[in-house]
Structure 1
Amino acid sequence: MKIVMVCLGNIYRSPLAEGIMKAKVPSHFMIDSAGTISMHEGKHPDKRSIKTAANHQIDISKQRSRPINNADFDIFDKIYCMDIDVMADVISKAKNEEQRQKVSLFLESLGDHENAEVPDPYWGDMKEFEEVFQLINRGCDAIVQQLNSNN
């Protein structure tokens, strides 16, 4: 299984999702993250995301931001988006319906379609980063459970 997590800049939410998911699945799974903008390309995740992950024994410090690209639609089986705007941007890059079907809101895995956006913790303090971590952790648990029930 190949999964990519996508947020806007790939320095807050999607790096956390990548790190958390990697900690939960076997190493033969391919887990990555990307952003819909290239503004932070090549940069490490935000220090607050790195610290929050480290508080849970997850190291995301070596990740580097990258924008999502056309090849991702061919490589990945699932493309999970952190919010509706990100999902709209990702879907706009898809070439066909098969590619569009790979794209979904990350938190829809929890079955909550009304509150399916992971909030961007950019303006928050460490408390908000921890809340986002916990939300993403729950989403990753749900995705893993779905993967296990499909196999």
Structure 2
Amino acid sequence: MNGRLLLAFAVVWLGACSTEARVAMQRDTEIQLETARAGAAVSCSARADCDRIWDMTKRYVSQRSVTPIRRADDAVIETAEPHSFGAVYVWAVRTTDPSGLSTISIKGMCRGMYNADGDPGWLYTRCAQQVQAVETDFRAFVGAGA
């Protein structure tokens, strides 16, 4: 009887350790994603520079998204959400403040990364790696450096 109780305790303890490690890993990944997202923006003020960066952004979105661009104008580049899970799709936004400073930013998304309740989904790790790469590589692609 004591052996069974000890085994049950060990299983519960190992499960708790596994859950804690998984939660810590997801927390660290979310921090890395937030850092990548914060760096996935470029500011410009000269119209010609902003137009060049916006054109490069459109090319980047087209190359890094699994779905084609469905809408592109001077303020937004949108791609369709993919039908398949685990595939990254990318959007971009261009805003200009009253002083004339424009900010161009991208956002990578991945179907299956999060559940409907916002918790990590079954493809979280795979998606997070892809989204982070897309967002981290953006500035260098458009010529803004790291």
Question: Relative to total residues, which structure has the larger helix share, 1 or 2?
Answer: 2
> Which of the two has higher C-alpha Rg?
2
Q: TM-score, normalised by structure 1?
A: 0.28
Question: Relative to total residues, which structure has the larger strand share, 1 or 2?
Answer: 2
